[in-house]
Structure 1
Amino acid sequence: MIPVRGVEGQKILILGLGRSGLTAARAIQAGGGLPLCWDDGAPGRERAEAEGFVLHDPTAQGAFDEVAMLVTSPGIPHLYPGPHRAIAAALRAGVPVDNDIGLFFRSLATDRWDSFDVPPKVVAVTGSNGKSTTSALIAHLVAESGREVQLAGNIGRGVLDIDPPEDGGVVVLELSSYQTDLARALTPDIAVFTNLSPDHLDRHGGYGGYFAAKRRLFAEGGPDRAVIGVDEDEGLFLAGQLSQGPADDRVIRVSAGQKLAGPGWSVFARKGFLAEYRKGRQLASIDLREVRGLPGAHNHQNACAAYAVARSLGIAPRVIESALHSFAGLPHRSQLVAEAGGVRFVNDSKATNVDSAAKALQAFTGIRWICGGLEKEGGLEGLHPYLGGVVKAYVIGREAEHFALGLGEGVETEICGTMEQAVARAHADAKPGETVLLAPAAASFDQYDSFERRGEDFVARVEALLKS
């Protein structure tokens, strides 16, 4: 655990008692603070009481009279579409509002670090798509190089729940826009921006607010090195803002389809090959086509970003190349579930929006596509250019017919409704060389409580069919 620093003897109110909230309460207590806990749901309050924490209703009269800080969970809105009433009350009372990410960055470094030969490093990864895979891949590359590494944030453990890093240790954080938007301290050594596509727009007051939330990791944090995906205008703009000139190698530009020129530092993938350039010279090249855990151009972008971070940490290209081949990938992200009769079954349940589903569709051909769910803002027109590889779509979800209409007339569709029926129909229709791909392009909450549960259902249905 990382004890929170600077809270000795202070009353700190924690709002939201899920994983991050309860961990924050424990870390505040470990740092000598006095945690007061609240959750709008009775189960959360009961969990806190079971651990002996004091409950404190933030909406009561005078609730913030002696409170030094409010620490809120990421899922609770603090500005758009409207602040939670407890956060609004804290702001009116002049009480600072923070989250566990801010507490982590203000508390990680201690006097022990003065005795280390190599101070620990923090790598923080944000962006719309690929954050989890990039973060896990960075951790894998570091581990394969023989260094201590911990993975935390939106993946792995809560940030305050990790062990204090030792000499030369590396902490890799996956951070969402919800986390970067509010954290009062953001000081990673290396910060990564993968890409940007529309998501969570209601929470950030529009696309500009969403980008601004991501940008805070770089503008507020001032990382020693920034790894920036430049395939969208926002990434290109961000790289330009951070760089002092064309040869400034504190910014590493990353692309998944274009050759990057110039005297600076760049890593890009073209036609399945990763290339590293620095000062106008090629330093390394890696064939990504046979890296089974990273199929498709979107995963090649993840590989480029992870490679750039590993090189920034001093890991040699040959060590990185070897480690790439041993990376198994993550569940629900282009996860190869099975191969039978020449047909591949791939679980990309994490493809919850149009952009991520489009990337998954570009990674395969001969696709029996399982899609549908709770459709997000913007419609499905953005998918139309990428449906050429789809043989047939099998649509699930409570509004499957409406979703199928959004796909247009360019692809054959079948309304299945349930995952069980979709997997059975796709399996029955699939021919050798084809891929049954779950890439929903929609949220899961109409039928499942998370994209993980949806992916697990897909895997279970595939395994049951192949055993029968």
Structure 2
Amino acid sequence: MITSPAWKDKKYAVLGLARSGRATVEALLAAGADVLVWDDRAEAREPYSGRCAIGDPLEADLTGYAGVVVSPGVPLNTHPIKPHADSFGVPVIGDIELFAQARADLPPHKVVGITGTNGKSTTTALVHHIFKTAGVPTTMGGNIGLPILEQEPLPEGGVYVLELSSYQIDLTYSLDCDVAVLLNITPDHLDRYDGDFAKYAASKNRLLDMQGQESYALVNWPAFASGVIHSGKAGFNGIMAADTEAQADWPSLSGPHNAENAGAAMSACAWLGLSVEQIEEGLRTYGGLPHRMERVADISGVAYVNDSKGTNTAASAPALAAFENIHWILGGLAKEPGLGECEAELGHVKAAYTVGKAGPDFAAQLEGRVPLEQCETLDRAVASAAAKAEAGDTVLLSPACASFDQYQDFEKRGDHFRELVEGLK
């Protein structure tokens, strides 16, 4: 695990004992810190009995504490822990901030931090894959993979690749990424920012603001030109999309959005010293991520694509742009009204199949524009789409919605789609 001598004999409270919380507690204890832990679930607290203090930080005297470490899922704009900690002058931080504090005692390394509304996971996994293929010691963490503090430190010359949500950035104060990537900004998670898009954009922008002059920043140029984001102290460039001819040789990176993701990854890797040949080999061999334009089967000439990670309209629009003759399965728990950026891609849609809570609203917007069927559930939608699709068509699950009306998360939704498609064989 990753620890730091800077934590020794200091007091920390950890609120929330899911995976990142547990990793945080173990790292702090290993470093010799004095830790107070709490989770509303008694079974989550039980393993720490006798190992550290157990108690709700909201009821604790936090005088002298070095920090309250919370899960990124804790809404700082409404949860009482923030004003309570503020009253004692104690910062509310996350595990990424602890990683930033530990960097001084790790073998010499580099950090690539990647944020944006859409494309973070693909770009993070792609950068990690390119470095790994080139033989550079690397790992990925943050909002993807294992909690960063749970992982073993990299040897000298290693590269940590971090996917960072706005929630994680909100809890981080000293992470100077050697390369910071801000892919795009579209309205999302605005409930955490009092409905204010400017606050959400400012949260993302803090990844750049934490950088020093010797670092590099790669930014979404339209967002910068419009004033939504600004540059920090680091030198910066706008993201340039990869060449579409070259993109044809990267089977898991189809679509214009992946041209931008690849362009960002290419620049980040080049800035940290990889050659054109090393980068090209990584792009060519990248296998993609589950639930992100994942081609799960070809049956009788029909492609079945799982893009369950398309949880808002801006995320689904690139998937619609990447294919022709689409049988589009959409719906779930809507994050915003309307079809948003998907409007411009309806020419690619051969038929639509709506599901979930937002299904009737989407059906009303699509009525008369594309052939439409209100299916309510994913199993009905897959069965109907499979019956109507012809060779050369694509059955695409890209819901443009969150999953929580019918599924635990987008992964469970995508897994169900895969199971249904497997049943068609």
Give TM-score, length-normalised by structure 1: 0.86
The separation in 1 between residues aligned to 2:51 and 2:351, in whole angstroms, is 55
The separation in 2 between residues aligned to 1:427 and 1:235, in whole angstroms, is 44
Within the alignment, does 1:224 sit opposite 2:215 as a pair?
yes
Q: Deviations over 1:29-75 (max 9, x none)?
A: 111101111123334334544x9443112232x53245332111101
Within the alignment, does 1:367 sit opposite 2:362 as a pair?
no
Q: Deviations over 1:206-242 (max 9, x none)?
A: 1101111111011123361112222x32476478634
Shift in alpha-carbon separation, 1:450–1:53, aligned structure 2, 3 A:
farther
2:403 alignment partner in structure 1: 444
The separation in 2 between residues aligned to 1:311 and 1:140, in whole angstroms, is 14
1:264 alignment partner in structure 2: none
Asked if structure 2 preserves the Cα contact closer than 8 Å seen for 1:343 and 1:432, the reply is yes
Q: Which has the higher contact order (CA 8 A, sep 6+)?
A: 2
Asked if structure 2 preserves the Cα contact closer than 8 Å seen for 1:193 and 1:229, the reply is yes
2:84 alignment partner in structure 1: 89
Within the alignment, does 1:40 sit opposite 2:13 as a pair?
no
Within the alignment, does 1:108 sit opposite 2:103 as a pair?
yes
Secondary structure at the residue paired with 2:239? Answer: strand
Within the alignment, does 1:405 sit opposite 2:364 as a pair?
yes
Identity %: 42
Secondary structure at the residue paired with 1:226? Answer: strand
Secondary structure at the residue paired with 1:324? Answer: helix
The separation in 1 between residues aligned to 2:314 and 2:359, in whole angstroms, is 19
Q: In structure 2, what residue type is equivalent to 1:340? A: I
Which of 214, 222, 226 is the matching residue for 2:204?
Answer: 214
The separation in 1 between residues aligned to 2:173 and 2:43, in whole angstroms, is 29
1:426 alignment partner in structure 2: 385
Shift in alpha-carbon separation, 1:401–1:48, aligned structure 2, 3 A:
farther
Shift in alpha-carbon separation, 1:40–1:19, aligned structure 2, 3 A:
same
Shift in alpha-carbon separation, 1:449–1:240, aligned structure 2, 3 A:
closer
Shift in alpha-carbon separation, 1:3–1:242, aligned structure 2, 3 A:
closer
Asked if structure 2 preserves the Cα contact closer than 8 Å seen for 1:373 and 1:444, the reply is yes
Which of 275, 284, 291 is the matching residue for 1:332?
Answer: 291
Shift in alpha-carbon separation, 1:308–1:239, aligned structure 2, 3 A:
farther
Q: In structure 2, what residue type is equivalent to 1:365? A: E
Secondary structure at the residue paired with 1:387? Answer: helix
1:69 alignment partner in structure 2: 67
Deviation >4 Å, runs of 4+ = 235-240
The separation in 1 between residues aligned to 2:368 and 2:175, in whole angstroms, is 47
Secondary structure at the residue paired with 2:423? Answer: helix
Q: In structure 1, what residue type is equivalent to 2:55? A: H
1:382 CA drift (Å): 3.6
1:408 CA drift (Å): 4.8
Asked if structure 1 preserves the Cα contact closer than 8 Å seen for 2:205 and 2:230, the reply is no
Counting only pairs closer than 5 Å after superposition, residues 14-33 of structure 1 correspond to structure 2 as: 14-33=14-33
Asked if structure 1 preserves the Cα contact closer than 8 Å seen for 2:130 and 2:281, the reply is no
The separation in 1 between residues aligned to 2:275 and 2:386, in whole angstroms, is 43
Asked if structure 2 preserves the Cα contact closer than 8 Å seen for 1:17 and 1:48, the reply is no
1:125 CA drift (Å): 0.4
| CA RMSD, 1 decimal | 1.9
1:424 CA drift (Å): 0.9
2:174 alignment partner in structure 1: 185
Asked if structure 1 preserves the Cα contact closer than 8 Å seen for 2:218 and 2:264, the reply is yes
1:171 CA drift (Å): 0.6
1:361 CA drift (Å): 0.5
Asked if structure 1 preserves the Cα contact closer than 8 Å seen for 2:124 and 2:161, the reply is yes
1:11 CA drift (Å): 2.1
2:185 alignment partner in structure 1: 196
Secondary structure at the residue paired with 1:346? Answer: strand
The separation in 2 between residues aligned to 1:238 and 1:123, in whole angstroms, is 22
Structure 2, unaligned runs of 5 or more:
none
1:59 alignment partner in structure 2: 58
The separation in 2 between residues aligned to 1:48 and 1:446, in whole angstroms, is 34
1:122 alignment partner in structure 2: 111
Which of 342, 347, 352 is the matching residue for 1:388?
Answer: 347
Q: Deviations over 1:113-170 (max 9, x none)?
A: 4xxxxx3111110001100000000011001111111111111111111211211111
